[in-house]
Structure 1
């Protein structure tokens, strides 16, 4: 599986450098998600801009990442989802479950906003 990880203070970006997210790649991706969240990542941006095909095991891996992010009160954002993959996400009704944004830049901004909101709630004793 070809990918790169860019770890920042408030988030990590995992850029998948594969055209297919299928049964050959999904198990490796799931274990990479687990490792990232165990090592302290709370917010993850999954850059899907090079992925042109996803099967059910690929969607399952993405849902694992979404659950892991939720478990640590974090945020998963899929960025750069290609039209074919978006169609599958929509058909699967996962567009209502997943955070989808057109670009990594917008995903970074959404995570920063989410973190500021979290800090404000904590300061005001709302959490």
Structure 2
């Protein structure tokens, strides 16, 4: 599986450099996402701009990433999905569960808003 990882201060951009996210690649993607999470990163942007096709096993990998990063108060965002992938996400109603952004910039904005909201909640709990 070809991919690139760009580690920022607040989040990681994981760019999938494959045209298909299907059963041969899904287990590898799950493993890589869990590895990034285990390294201590709370927030991840999955850049899917190069992915033209995904199937149910690909969606399963996305759900694993979503679950892992959401467990400890982080956020997992799918960025720049192409039309086929967007349709699949909507048909499966995963757009109601997962965060989807039309660009990496919008995903970064969502992360910063999530961080601000998380800090507010922590302050309220302390008071």
Task: Provide TM-score, normalisation by structure 1.
Answer: 0.95
Q: Partner residue of 2:33?
A: 33
How many angstroms does 1:98 deviate by? 1.0
Task: Provide TM-score, normalisation by structure 2.
Answer: 0.95
Q: Partner residue of 1:63?
A: 63
Q: Partner residue of 1:16?
A: 16
**Matched residue count:** 127
Q: Give a deviation string over 1:55-114, Cα, whole Å, max 9, x none.
A: 111000000000001111110110101111111111111111110110000000110111
SS in 2 for 1:116: helix
How many angstroms does 1:124 deviate by? 2.8
1-structure distance, mates of 2:122, 2:96: 27
Root-mean-square deviation (Å): 1.3
Q: Which stretches of structure 1, 4 residues or more, deviate above 4 A after TM superposition? A: none
Q: Give the unaligned 5+ runs of structure 1.
A: none
1-structure distance, mates of 2:39, 2:110: 22
Q: Give the unaligned 5+ runs of structure 2.
A: none
